[in-house]
Homo-oligomer: A and B are copies of this chain.
Amino acid sequence: MADSTPLLSPDWDPAAAEALLRDVFGIVVDEVVWKGTSASEKVCEWKEPEELRQLLDLELRSQGESKEQILARCRAVIRYSVKTCHPHFFNQLFSGLDPHALAGRIVTESLNTSQYTYEIAPVFVLMEEEVLTKLRALVGWSSGDGVFCPGGSISNMYAVNLARYQRYPDCKQRGVRALPPLALFTTKECHYSFKKGAAFLGLGTDSVRVVEADERGKMIPEDLERQISLAEAEPPSRSDFCIRVLCRSWSLPPLGLLFWGPSTPWKQLPTCASVADCGCTWTADSVAWNPHKLLVAGLQCSALLLRDTTNLLKRCHGSQASYLFQQDKFYDVALDTGDKVVQCGRRVDCLKLWLMWKAQGGQGLERRVNQAFALARYLVEEMKKREGFELVMEPEFVNVCFWFVPPSLRGKQESLDYSERLAKVAPVLKERMVKEGSMMISYQPHGTRGNFFRLIVANPALTQADMDFLLNELERLGQDL
């Protein structure tokens, strides 16, 4: 190529970019911010997969499309997506739309940087430090460390890996084969990421020892003692090291925080699941906290908080890549926090939470959490007044587990096939509500319990009227069953 030949015209036109972005933003405002959060609109527009494939015309071709076509595609994507911000989306541990968090996410996306060095993320390196400090203070720690992870499951894996490394620093270099057998104690009610993590981290799922839980899903301390003794007695002994994961039920109330302690005594914990009631102190060494759930910060916002002050994160995960973490920089390289993680590039996950917190204040977030608790309580009290609702148990948190008992099954609790028939109700109602688009509630079986609804009250936009709606809607959808 001759250098005197001008190269292709640049692939950037700020006026065209602004025009496109303004139009797309307008679509987002109309279709998500307004319609997506309106109780009078559908929470989802159900299509069978084959039909949806046709409607979306997903194929990627060699020819580009016009701006009008692109805008139509954005409208179609939004139209056929589930509105997780809708007040009748009770399906997941996240829901709702916080405008400040969304604003923070739009700024984050436009700046498009990675969190690894102060050099390219000065604001976010300092901001993450402040947000983590504040979160740690809420769990009662005046010092420590932490990092945002790509989701709660990976936070949990980090925690297990850190525990392993803290006890056996050799593991990093020599691997699991050089260590005595390890065991990881948790209950069957814990999050499934512990089993996934045990496999991924090379420990194997067999290393997960299942401790008995009570009927509310809480670990039974005596059984933990027993499981530890059993592990100790196995040849070769597993007593040398126990990663202790105590956690609350994932499926049933209460749904609390997870923690581990490699070297500290365990004890049963108070429920510590929200900013509002996190005043407890305990002896855990780390906490995985997902502000993308009840705090509505937006996926993903997962903090792993550590009590450690010995730079454990960096020692455990660091590898000092010379092309990124140069030691002869002109600023304090301790601010290059990228070597704390096993990733290289790392998304900025602090701004959305920080901006929302600035706007709401701690008090605003506390009010929001308290409101969710109050509405969950209201819902439960209303259920008790109606014939067709049976609680799986009294909730302690914002997740309400219940059966809808249709007219044909009421008063038939003594029938031999009652449980079997009841278990078929939730899937039918779920199909009906999704196909009508009126609401979304998750269901699940649990142990010997047949399918029940697991409903999450988290959206800060919820009102009593939405609680009444969901009860009425279940009755309407199930009246012929």
- Say yes or no: is A10 at the interface (Cβ < 8 Å to chain B): yes
Question: A3–B152 contact, CB under 8 A?
Answer: no
- The answer to whether the Cβ of A377 comes within 8 Å of any Cβ in the partner chain is yes
Decide if A276 is an interface residue (CB 8 Å cutoff): no
Query: Which residues of chain A from 283 to 316 have a CB within 8 Å of any chain B CB?
Result: 292, 298-300, 316
Q: Which of B11, B342, B358 contacts A371 (CB 8 A)?
A: B11
A323-B454 contact, Cβ under 8 Å, with A91-B120, A103-B21 = yes
The smallest C-beta distance from A56 to any residue of chain B, in angstroms, reads: 6
Please classify how large the interface on chain A is, using the bins under 10, 10 to 19, 20 to 34, 35 or more: 35 or more
Contact indicator B77/A351 (Cβ below 8 Å): yes
For A54-84 the 0/1 string (1 means CB < 8 A from B) is 0010111111110001100110011011111
A250 contacts chain B at the CB level, 8 A cutoff: yes
List residues of chain B with CB within 8 A of the CB of A358.
Answer: 60, 64-65, 69-70, 73
B10 engages A461 (CB within 8 Å): yes
Listed stretches A106-114, A214-222, A473-481; interface member: A106-114
In whole angstroms, what is the CA distance A446 to B328 when docked? 14
The segment from A29-37, A240-248, A260-268, A404-412 that touches chain B is A29-37
Min Cβ gap A449→B in Å is 11
Among residues of B, the one whose C-beta sits closest to the C-beta of A62 is B362
Cβ of A417 < 8 Å from any Cβ of B?
no
**Residue A171 interfacial (CB < 8 Å):** yes
Q: How far is the CB of A188 from chain B (nearest CB, A)?
A: 11
Contact residues in B for A126 (Cβ distance below 8 Å): 49, 52-53, 56, 58
Contact status B92-A120, CB under 8 Å? yes
Which residues in window 424-455 of A have CB below 8 A to B? Answer: 427, 430-431, 434, 440, 442-446, 451, 454
Most buried by B among A70, A332, A374: A70
- Residues A344 and B172 in contact, CB atoms below 8 Å apart: no
Give min CB distance, A334 to chain B, whole Å.
Answer: 10
Q: Is the CB of A106 within 8 A of B24?
A: yes
CB-CB under 8 A for A431 and B344, given A81-B123, A112-B299: no
Instruction: Answer whether A251 and B323 are a contact pair too, CB < 8 Å, given A120-B82, A176-B177, A203-B175.
Output: yes
Shortest beta-carbon contacts, A-B, top 3: A202-B202, A175-B204, A12-B461
Interchain residue pairs with CB less than 8 A apart (15): A1-B381, A25-B25, A36-B110, A44-B122, A58-B126, A60-B130, A60-B358, A70-B358, A81-B122, A112-B299, A161-B200, A171-B199, A322-B444, A328-B451, A329-B427
